[in-house]
Amino acid sequence: MLTLNGNRQNGASPLEQRLAWARYELRRFLRFSEQTARASGITPQQHQLLLGVKGFTGLGSATVSELAEFLQERHNAVVGLVERAARRGLVRKEPGRRDRRTVVVTATRQGETILKKLSRLHRREIESLRRELLAATRPPRRAAYGKPNGPAVAPHYERRGKAVIARHRPALQKNRKDQP
């Protein structure tokens, strides 16, 4: 409801607006990441798995328990994800050296190639996300794009993610052809 002076009564506080836009930017990045993974021929979960294997521990490998923590999933769900990724040739499983009950997961050459391509594509998006999250922590501008106290986001902003995917489509399709 608008008051006589044009302000919203019971509207969102500046903090709520900033949190909403920060959440929007995070979700937009995750959507980009999911679409890019699919376009390169793997599932978003397999992409996350490869990131966890290569980067979570800093060792270039990880145990299933470490991957469960990284992915914030149940251990048995990660076991299934690792099995499917191993069948696709993305990762390799080996028993632990000290404790044979643990399973150590490493990326195969194919998995590393896909991950490197996806990482390059994500670098630019992460920079964009960083800028947008910083902007979301600042107080919103008044009357941006006709919205009282709205953030300064252009109306065409949502289409930007699709344009980024289209720009990278040739590299992603090339990668997909390389897969068995």
Band (179; pLDDT cuts 50, 70, 90)? low
Q: How many CB atoms lie within 10 A of CB 119?
A: 15
Cβ-count burial 103-116 (b if 16+ within 10 Å, e if not): bbbbbbebbbebbe
| Domain 14-177 CATH class label | mainly alpha
pLDDT in tens, 94-111: 998 888 889 999 999 999
Q: Which residues contact 7 (CB under 8 A, 6 or more apart)?
A: 148
User: Looking at the predicted structure, is the pLDDT value of residue 169 above 70?
Assistant: no
What is the pLDDT, as a whole number, of residue 9? 60
User: Looking at the predicted structure, is the pLDDT value of residue 140 above 60?
Assistant: no
pLDDT in tens, 60-82: 999 999 999 999 999 999 999 99
User: Looking at the predicted structure, is the pLDDT value of residue 155 above 50?
Assistant: no
State the Rg of the chain over Cα: 21
Comparing 70 with 179, which gets the higher pLDDT?
Answer: 70
What is the pLDDT, as a whole number, of residue 177? 55
| Domain boundaries along the sequence of the chain | 14-177
User: Which of 36-40, 99-103, 152-156, 174-178: highest mean pLDDT?
Assistant: 36-40
Integer Cα distance of 57 and 65 in angstroms? 12
Comparing 39 with 9, which gets the higher pLDDT?
Answer: 39
Comparing 8 with 117, which gets the higher pLDDT?
Answer: 117
Query: Which of 51, 36, 22, 33 is closest to 126 using CA atoms?
Result: 33
What is the pLDDT, as a whole number, of residue 13? 85
Q: Are 1 and 9 in contact (CB under 8 A)?
A: yes
Task: Please give the mean pLDDT across all residues of the chain.
Answer: 81
pTM score? 0.70
